């Protein structure tokens, strides 16, 4: 039986960026990836094929009411509708992890005592979970600037790649 530990809620960015890399399967060990209506619509508009992926268990959730806490956060952090629905869904269903690449949404998640992880963390985790090889993930990380709409400072991305290569070299 699925516990809330292996359930996550996704924001649009992570689904779009992982699909752009052909790497949505890094979410395949989650029992379910919940997608609230506003996020679903956003992905449908920008990357509809991400919602057809058979390797992951996406669960569409309609009509997510904003939690009062999220409503307050929305004003402070200028959150979008999808981010508000995703955070509200986490609180409503007691799901502790939000998948997002948005800094403001991560900040809001931290303030709501939720965990927040993004595309980079999920890719790297895939090696730990034995879903992908280290070589695969290094290649995918390096492809982020050319292949995805995720913006990350090139020097920072290079540092991350060097850091993971170093870490995985030690373990081989």
Partner 1 sequence: MNTIIQAEIPQQLCQQAQLLIQQGWATNLQEVINEALRRYVESHEDSLSEAFIQDDVAWGLHGDD
Distance from C-alpha of 168 to C-alpha of 145, rounded to nearest angstrom:
22
**Any contact of residue 125 with partner 1 (CB under 8 A)?**
yes
Of 17-25, 40-48, 84-92, 152-160, the window that binds partner 1 (rule: CB under 8 A) is 152-160
Distance from C-alpha of 80 to C-alpha of 104, rounded to nearest angstrom:
10
**Any contact of residue 156 with partner 1 (CB under 8 A)?**
yes
Residue 98 β-bridge partners: 9, 116
Strand, coil or helix: 160? helix
**Any contact of residue 124 with partner 1 (CB under 8 A)?**
yes
The nearer residue to partner 1, 40 or 77, going by C-beta atoms, is 77
User: Residues 67, 97, 112, 144: which binds partner 1 (CB under 8 A)?
Assistant: 97
Give the alpha-carbon dihedral of 76, 77, 78, 81, to 10 degrees: -110
Residue found under tokens 């956060």: 73
Binding residues vs partner 1 (CB under 8 A): 5-6, 76-78, 97, 103-104, 106-107, 116-118, 120-125, 127-128, 152-153, 156, 160, 163-164, 167
């Amino acid at each position: 039986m699925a516990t809330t530990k292996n359930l996550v809620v996704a924001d649009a960015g992570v689904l779009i960026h992982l699909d752009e890399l052909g790497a949505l399967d890094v979410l395949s060990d989650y029992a379910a990836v919940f997608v609230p209506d506003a996020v679903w619509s956003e992905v449908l508009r920008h990357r509809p094929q991400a919602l057809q992926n058979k390797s992951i268990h996406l669960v569409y959730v309609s009509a997510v009411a904003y939690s009062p806490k999220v409503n307050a956060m929305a004003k402070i952090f200028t959150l979008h509708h999808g981010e508000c629905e995703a955070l509200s869904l986490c609180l409503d269903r007691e799901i502790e992890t939000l998948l997002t690449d948005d800094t403001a949404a991560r900040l809001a998640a931290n303030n709501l005592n939720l965990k927040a992880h993004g595309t980079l963390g999920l890719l790297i985790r895939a090696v730990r979970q034995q879903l992908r090889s280290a070589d695969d993930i290094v290649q995918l990380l390096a492809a982020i600037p050319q292949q995805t709409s995720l913006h990350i400072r090139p020097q920072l991305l290079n540092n991350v790649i060097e850091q993971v290569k170093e870490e995985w070299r030690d373990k081989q």
